[in-house]
Structure 1
């Protein structure tokens, strides 16, 4: 999905994911995944470069029994880091949630230019048995 870097794109990304993943009936928590997508799309909108036109892209893939979600934005890869916000800080917990819920996550250069932040949820589908 390609999204404009606007706040209303966050709920749009959640709805899109829920609609498209439903027929595949994952065994992982769709709510958890939608939460993590919300956090990463929000970060992409807040921290993406604004000096040029760019969009936020959300893609998801099945990788064996895992679900991989990628959020691409026109930001700088070096700027992605876990923060340790204070108890009174209103922001800064998005990647902490990703780190706590996802099986793994990473960031780096996007193939579209800019940054990609991705996460995986292990055992999102039962393993396929060979007979």
Structure 2
């Protein structure tokens, strides 16, 4: 399996890093570990634990629901936008499949976007520039001005 990490330590670049993952369950803990490792030098003020939880949920959704007719990769990118951190998860699936659910208490699935919605400053979904779907979240006040 091929995995790739792109780091952009250039101070004037808004993109801080990216990783490309295989659409397999093993990619979920890998995404958490890599994000935690590669965001650390930027010393964000926001909760890295919250970010890794949301990344875990979005990568899981991308693997489970982001299927298309062709095999595709899951891509995670993170950006500094002023004092905010924006994280995007791209998958080869279709934008119409992303929706916030209100699962019953006994439902085993359907809480990932609810977690993102409750933790992040904001979240969004739509077409990915790589094809397929992108789901992103923003953590406000991740850095001082």
TM-score (norm 2): 0.86
Identify the residue that residue 60 of structure 2 maps to in structure 1. Answer: 42
Name structure 2 gaps, 5 residues minimum: 1-18
**What is the deviation of 1:48?**
1.2
CA RMSD of the aligned region, Å? 0.6
Identify the residue that residue 14 of structure 1 maps to in structure 2. Answer: 32
Identify the residue that residue 143 of structure 2 maps to in structure 1. Answer: 125
Contact 2:68 2:94 in 1 (8 A): no
Note the alpha carbon deviations across 1:20-66, whole angstroms, 9 max, x for none: 00001000000000000000000000001242110000000000000
Identify the residue that residue 83 of structure 1 maps to in structure 2. Answer: 101
The reply on whether 1:51 has 2:51 as its aligned counterpart is: no
Aligned partner of 1:24 among 42, 59, 66: 42
Q: Matched residues in 2 for 1:54 and 1:19: separation?
A: 25
Aligned length: 127
List structure 1 segments (4+ residues) > 6 angstroms apart after TM superposition: none
Name structure 1 gaps, 5 residues minimum: none
